[in-house]
Amino acid sequence: MSYAPVGIMAETIRLEVGGMTCDGCSNRVKKALEDLPGVITAAVSHQDGSAEVRHEGSNSEVLSDAVRSAGYTVGGRGEEFNWRDRAVWRQSANNTKWCLIGCSIGDFGTIAAFQFVFTDSGWSAMMIMALAMFNGIMTSIALETFILLSQMPLYEAFRVAIGMSLISMISMEAAMNVVDLVLTGGAKLTWWVIAPMLIAGFLTPWPYNYWRLKKYGVSCH
């Protein structure tokens, strides 16, 4: 929190902030604003999509730029997109990592079940992989919900988790299963195929997650 020279009258500016989905988002916007010179305090709400900033000597453009730099929009406009933001690459990698962990639990568990338990099911490799992809998405949503419980109530955590990008999860699942099919010839798990599956599953959606976070500020961690 910063203060301007004595004698400048304090004012309050309200910003319409887009892209916030949880308390973590609100806290990032609040910190970005309160780190600015002249800002006394900032009250940020992701439910209302707003930030009320009490300041001395600042202006709406400076405040808006700080919010956009944090990865969110003000008045429907975000920071000019680029691929050079290391902080966003790190944040999107963290988001992708947790999505990968969740997807892998359901995906690998399904393949292992048909490989070692339901060996006479009669299911084709494509049928098993389709089920593995579905179960992977479900376990990813469940894990995201569990992670978000530290920030919000269960119903809201589930709503946010279910609303996260299916494009990212589907592309992740597709990449992992295509690698498995190409390297093993079917829905099989071997010690040497797991690492390539995980690498493909991580790298495939990572640029998309960066773009989504950088352009729209969509993140929940």
pLDDT tens track for 11-29:
999 999 988 877 888 888 9
- Indicate whether 109 and 185 sit together in one domain: yes
Could you give the CA distance from residue 164 to residue 39 in angstroms, rounded to a whole number?
33
Residues ≥6 apart with Cβ < 8 Å to 75: 15, 16, 64
**Residue 143 placed within a domain:** yes
**Residue 159 placed within a domain:** yes
Buried-exposed string 57-69: b where 16+ CB fall within 10 A, e elsewhere: bbeeebbbebbbe
For 211, other C-beta atoms within 10 Å of its C-beta total 15
For residue range 149-205, list pLDDT tens digits in order.
887 788 887 877 777 778 899 999 999 999 999 999 999 999 999 999 999 999 999
Question: What's the mean pLDDT when you consider all of the chain?
Answer: 88
pLDDT of residue 123: 95
- Indicate whether 198 and 93 sit together in one domain: yes
Of 25, 51, 74, the last residue of a domain is 74
Could you give the CA distance from residue 49 to residue 81 in angstroms, rounded to a whole number?
21
Of 35, 50, 74, the last residue of a domain is 74
The CATH code of the domain that includes 66 is 3.30.70.100
Question: Is residue 221 predicted with pLDDT exceeding 50?
Answer: no
Could you give the CA distance from residue 137 to residue 100 in angstroms, rounded to a whole number?
10
- Indicate whether 141 and 207 sit together in one domain: yes
- Indicate whether 166 and 101 sit together in one domain: yes
- Indicate whether 56 and 159 sit together in one domain: no
- Indicate whether 137 and 188 sit together in one domain: yes
- Indicate whether 40 and 142 sit together in one domain: no
- Indicate whether 102 and 171 sit together in one domain: yes
Total number of domains in the chain: 2
pTM for the complete prediction? 0.72
**Residue 80 placed within a domain:** no
Residue 35: domain span:
11-74
- Indicate whether 186 and 154 sit together in one domain: yes
**Residue 81 placed within a domain:** no
- Indicate whether 104 and 200 sit together in one domain: yes
Of 50, 74, 98, the last residue of a domain is 74
